[in-house]
Amino acid sequence: MRTELAQKYANLQMLLKPFGKVAVAFSGGVDSALLLHAAHTTLPGQVLALTACSCVFPHSEQRSVRETVQQWGIPQKEIAVDFLSIPNVAENPSDRCYWCKRELLGAFCRVAKEAGINTVLEGSNVDDLGDYRPGLSALRESSVKSPLCDAGMTKEDIRELSRELGLPAWDKPSMACLASRIPYGEPVTPDKLRMVEQAEEILLQMGFRQIRVRHHGKVARIECAPEDFAGFLDAQTRKELSQRFQEIGFPYTSLDLQGYRTGSLNETIWAKEEPR
């Protein structure tokens, strides 16, 4: 392990040790997986994994989370969160993530307190600070701590360290809640979330990895890594995708020529609009 990365990991462990018993928000992604593993090894027997269950999260991710905590022998609490009952989530304003994150962090803190735990940790990293992320405002307003960020870890650091530690999630594609596939101002509904989840599952089963399916009414806009563009040139692949997406409820399917990029729907936000 390179010296700089080893020092960052040592800093992370030093940050964790004084907490004692902690609850870790665990989504199954590479960031929260590293944080959970670090907490589990630094504070053995004093870690509780907290996972939100909701229609805005893919079912496959929730199954993966259960398998991981069982494999690592970490107790887990699954928390049902009805995000769509919150008007500022269901109506999908540009600061939707703020309201979603505020509800989520509040639920985690309540459950942790009921379990006798005063410290809740989550897996934001330094790179998260550079994008339009209204959820960060909710995080700053809460008592939840972000030790990966405090240790100065970037996404690249986290992936490299996870690989060095042998964590299976080290190369897992980035994931975000399914509501992020729906353009701001368009209501988030269970049917739209179901359509997106099923469409992305089809692409994953076909071997595509870093993908998003954006819901634009009758049109499914596929974002994929540029190196995967060639996979869509095969006539049989296009025919199968078109037919299966039609069965889901998308009459039309398009491929975004700019390829996958995080927060592409943020491109439609007016420049004058300030993040919460």
Give the Cα separation of 246 and 254 in Å (integer).
Answer: 12
Higher-confidence residue of 64 and 133: namely: 64
Q: pLDDT band for 176, please (50, 70, 90 cuts).
A: confident
Per mean pLDDT, which range of 2-11, 48-57, 122-131, 151-160 is the poorest? 122-131
Question: Tens digits of per-residue pLDDT, 135-149?
Answer: 899 999 999 999 999
Percentages of the chain per state (helix, strand, coil), in multiples of 5: 50, 15, 35
Following DSSP, what letter does each residue of 197-266 receive, concatenated?
A: HHHHHHHHHTT--SEEEEEETTEEEEEE-GGGGGGG-SHHHHHHHHHHHHHHT-SEEEE-TT---TTGGG
User: What letter represents residue 253's amino acid?
Assistant: T
User: With 50 as the cut, is the pLDDT of residue 217 above it?
Assistant: yes
User: With 90 as the cut, is the pLDDT of residue 131 above it?
Assistant: no
Q: Residue 208 has what pLDDT?
A: 93
Question: Tens digits of per-residue pLDDT, 74-122?
Answer: 999 999 999 999 999 999 999 999 999 999 999 999 999 999 999 999 9
- What pTM does this model have? 0.89
Give the Cα separation of 44 and 77 in Å (integer).
Answer: 17
Q: pLDDT band for 269, please (50, 70, 90 cuts).
A: low
Q: pLDDT band for 271, please (50, 70, 90 cuts).
A: very low
Q: Residue 263 has what pLDDT?
A: 67
Q: Residue 274 has what pLDDT?
A: 45
Q: Residue 125 has what pLDDT?
A: 94
> Which of 92, 122, 10, 40 lies closest to 269, judged by CA?
92
- Write down the mean pLDDT value for the chain: 92
Q: pLDDT band for 175, please (50, 70, 90 cuts).
A: confident
Partner residues linked to 222 by β-bridges: 213, 255
Element (H, E) at 214: strand 211-216
Residue with tokens 């229609």: 55
Q: Residue 270 has what pLDDT?
A: 45
Percent with pLDDT over 70 in the chain = 95
Give the Cα separation of 26 and 51 in Å (integer).
Answer: 5
User: With 50 as the cut, is the pLDDT of residue 170 above it?
Assistant: yes
* Residues 6 or more apart in contact with residue 41 via CB below 8 angstroms: none
> Which of 96, 102, 57 lies closest to 80, judged by CA?
57
Q: Residue 133 has what pLDDT?
A: 81
Element (H, E) at 254: strand 252-255
Sequence length of the chain is 276
Percent with pLDDT over 90 in the chain = 83
Per mean pLDDT, which range of 133-142, 150-159, 262-271 is the poorest? 262-271
**Domains along the chain with CATH numbers:** 3-164 (3.40.50.620), 178-268 (3.30.70)
